Structure 1
């Protein structure tokens, strides 16, 4: 059985607990107990969260955990010498150590991120970098795996991190089923930007949101206004008017942003030729993709590939 220890501390954020749902549903999918979850803290007993929630916890067990997972808080968590000692000792007995959101600050304070690549919530990443210059902080990543150390961005990224662990342990098919049970998209890749074109567009209605989700899943299609309008169950004229009113962009510009976002991810995570990337995300040719990259990032795709840290 794979033992997972989730470390909480005073002021922990309840959403960081969502990550363990991936392990719970992995057990349901496999129809047996693959993962055992223990909630642990410095002293054990009740620990108060950030929004009135109290979690009953155990002390750190001597037997250790296969996965030690540090939860996150609304702000930078306070550390104590005893908590850091417990984390260090447990980490030595664990197969992998991970953090959700600001939990990375505890890993860094414990010295477990020294010389490693790591991420955290984009808002606090500059502080992580300033406080711990020995950590190679990458501010714009959903999660990062560096050897046995895993770190993730904001709270929802903890679910992506946990799904990636399930995929590592049990295979992609199980991870896909778990994602379906959780009613989330199959996990976002670790190298994906914390900033999403879908989030930036902020559509107000389910119809426009559905059209954008359809577009993201069918980037190789022409994605004409007529096709997107059909996905939204609106007339082309009504769709174009509603889309611009809700997002402030034309459908064509939004689709270009989605394609550039997908192309950037492929450029960073694979070594496919530029022509292949352009075709896979729906650009007619590499020149059209190059112009779109320059408009969005101020540099061509080849330059962004050279600057990328490589697959995570």
Structure 2
């Protein structure tokens, strides 16, 4: 196994595969992997320090698995020698996996074209813009396409590495590796639960006033016709402008905003889930739970258990016609 180090590599992205695969042991105590740190040049920058890689790119092209950590600035064009080495490794049948922004490197090598892939949620839109042939999914922790795997940021690299250990050596070996790393073998939910809950409207766009109005009226059960009427345009024009400027339909944008507001309320209040559903414009708690799980990847109760502060902070606005209830134990 080869772990690729490039200039400005993110230290934690680099350390994760070295640590996980380096500490994995088989049932008889033997190391499960031989891990080599490879680079195009002997010395590589890594944030506040520099490191020396013992192996060059020829070790990468002969490896059965190649891990590509992210770099601090994913917009930087990767070294042509690295891209050639990755293509050679892939052509030879090697398994390639990226951590966080490492997906940009695999995409630059053309190895993600036509595939579903992920990266850190904050960089997902840029990956999709720069590489339109890649089907970017920002909501998951990792994606396994068989030969090519990608993961989201930071801790998701641990999820990916443990998944690979389980795929290679079974659940028992992977579970022991997870215990050594003091983390669960598999986490519930996806990357969407970590996305910043309030996404600001695009600055300077013609939709900015409308998005502000939608945010202020998020508790109302608004239809596409309601939104178009407020904007004084046809539903067809509204859909077209939203897709051009946000990449989403008006209803999809509103749905995501409602669920992000719900995340905030689950984190900062003890309001019952049913009350939160009404406060963010869902007429049915069941529909709220279904949509929350679909977008966030976990249930409102599990999300609150992970991120909730346990106390009631600022009282959330109560929709007209909905009687507030005394907060009690979170559901």
Could you state the TM-score of these two structures normalised by the residue count of structure 1?
Answer: 0.63
SS in 2 for 1:79: coil
Alpha-carbon distance, 1:104 to partner: 0.6
Give the conservation status (yes or no) of the 8 Å contact 1:7–1:39.
yes
SS in 2 for 1:107: helix
Report whether the alignment pairs 1:249 with 2:266: no
Decide which structure has the larger Cα Rg and report it. Answer: 2
**CA–CA distance in structure 2, aligned partners of residues 297 and 178 of structure 1:** 29
Q: How do residues 183-202 of structure 1 correspond to structure 2 at under 5 angstroms?
A: 183-188=182-187, 192-196=189-193
Could you state the TM-score of these two structures normalised by the residue count of structure 2?
Answer: 0.59
**CA–CA distance in structure 2, aligned partners of residues 291 and 130 of structure 1:** 31
**CA–CA distance in structure 1, aligned partners of residues 169 and 35 of structure 2:** 17
**CA–CA distance in structure 2, aligned partners of residues 55 and 253 of structure 1:** 52
Tell me the residue number matched to 2:92: 93
Alpha-carbon distance, 1:129 to partner: 0.3
1:50 corresponds, among 38, 42, 47, to 47
1:75 corresponds, among 73, 76, 82, to 73
Alpha-carbon distance, 1:90 to partner: 2.0
Give the conservation status (yes or no) of the 8 Å contact 2:121–2:195.
no
SS in 1 for 2:53: strand
Unpaired segments of 5 or more residues in structure 2? Answer: 198-263, 278-283, 298-331
SS in 1 for 2:192: coil
Partner deviation per Cα, 1:10-67 (whole Å, 9 max, x = no partner): 1001101213322122127651022001111123x12111222424241123661111
Report whether the alignment pairs 1:157 with 2:156: yes
Report whether the alignment pairs 1:132 with 2:152: no
Closer/same/farther in 2, CA of residues 184 and 199 from structure 1, 3 Å limit: farther
Give the conservation status (yes or no) of the 8 Å contact 1:68–1:91.
no
Give the conservation status (yes or no) of the 8 Å contact 2:118–2:140.
yes
Tell me the residue number matched to 1:168: 167
**CA–CA distance in structure 1, aligned partners of residues 118 and 195 of structure 2:** 21
Alpha-carbon distance, 1:8 to partner: 1.1
Larger mean Cα displacement after TM superposition, 78-87 or 113-122: 78-87
